[in-house]
């Protein structure tokens, strides 16, 4: 038998509302999606956005990521070591990294020019994360914050653009509408930003400002490294796969010989 309640339903509703807000806050990552630039097309989830992205940039962070193996598009793995922060000269490996390479990015040998396996670049990939709201014919869309990652080849374009907006318009990048396009002269997805217009209404500026705090939290989210596999284990898996393939081939060859 249920005992008589000592509190009112109204008080319980208030308590549940607080719990609901806390639970929703814990699920913030569900509100974000990464925008892919593969094949020089912007893609959000399964939706192909095309070769132009019009948006408002809520915030940015620097990101360094070190991968300890050859990239496999069919089985992409998280980085072995990575750092995320707002100051490029003060980045430190995230403690969740599976194989931290140095105490700081400043002293890491993989963050030196010429450390790459091929060419004169860096073995550690320097990039940027941008949190964006979509912007279209009907104005600002605040239902979802998406993350656009810029590759090393796109960094100078973004840096120059941000400085230009600040110097010419006296506005942060969240105070304007930005259009991203791909460099037609590059075979790789090099992203170039241009300004479309200033944000012109108080309502949109207030909506943008409300989203900035959440955007920064999402930008600083570490990688999910649960799928990381140690290089030694990867080598064992490849060797085992090769042996299995050879056995299958030998069995088929033996079967054909018996038939003939």
As a whole number of angstroms, the distance between CA 88 and CA 234 comes to 32
Domains and CATH numbers, the chain: 31-222 (3.90.198)
Predicted confidence (pLDDT) per residue in 205-256, tens digit? 999 999 999 999 999 999 999 988 888 776 665 555 554 545 555 555 555 5
Predicted confidence (pLDDT) per residue in 27-78, tens digit? 544 445 899 999 999 999 889 999 999 999 999 999 999 999 876 767 778 9
* pLDDT score for 238: 54
As a whole number of angstroms, the distance between CA 126 and CA 253 comes to 49
In three-state secondary structure terms, 81 is: strand
Average pLDDT, the chain: 85
As a whole number of angstroms, the distance between CA 17 and CA 24 comes to 10
Other CB atoms within 10 A of residue 116 CB = 14
Q: Which two tokens stand for residue 201?
A: 């209404």
65: phi then psi, degrees, rounded to nearest 5: -140, 130
Q: Going by C-beta distance under 8 Å and a sequence separation of 6 or more, which residues neighbour residue 44?
A: 33, 35, 36, 146
Other CB atoms within 10 A of residue 221 CB = 13
Q: Which two tokens stand for residue 189?
A: 């997805």
What is the β-pairing status of strands 47-50 and 32-36?
unpaired
Cα within 13 Å of Cα(237), Cβ side = 7
Q: What residue has token string 């208030």?
A: 14
Q: Which two tokens stand for residue 248?
A: 């299958």
């Amino acid at each position: 038998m249920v005992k008589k309640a000592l509190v009112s339903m109204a008080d319980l509703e208030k308590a549940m509302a607080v719990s609901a807000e806390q639970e929703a806050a814990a699920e913030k990552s569900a509100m974000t999606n990464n925008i892919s630039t593969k094949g020089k097309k912007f893609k959000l989830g399964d939706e192909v956005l095309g070769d132009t992205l019009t948006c408002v940039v809520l915030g940015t962070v620097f990101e360094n990521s070190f991968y300890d193996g050859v990239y496999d598009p069919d089985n992409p793995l998280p980085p072995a070591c990575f750092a995320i922060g707002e100051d490029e000269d003060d980045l430190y490996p995230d403690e969740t990294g599976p194989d931290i390479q140095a105490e700081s990015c400043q002293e890491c040998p993989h963050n030196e020019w010429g450390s790459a396996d091929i060419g004169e670049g860096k073995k550690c990939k320097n990039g940027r994360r941008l949190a964006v709201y979509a912007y279209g014919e009907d104005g600002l869309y605040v239902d979802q914050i998406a993350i656009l990652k810029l590759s090393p080849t796109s960094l100078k374009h973004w840096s120059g653009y941000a400085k230009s907006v600040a110097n010419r318009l006296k506005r942060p990048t969240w105070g304007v509408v930005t259009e991203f396009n791909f460099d037609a002269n590059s075979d790789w997805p090099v992203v170039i930003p241009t300004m479309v217009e200033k944000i012109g209404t108080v309502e949109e500026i207030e909506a943008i400002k409300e989203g900035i705090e959440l955007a920064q939290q999402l930008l600083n989210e570490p990688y999910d490294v649960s799928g990381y596999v140690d290089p030694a284990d990867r080598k064992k898996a490849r060797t085992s796969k090769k042996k299995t393939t050879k056995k299958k081939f030998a069995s088929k060859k033996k079967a054909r010989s018996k038939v003939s």
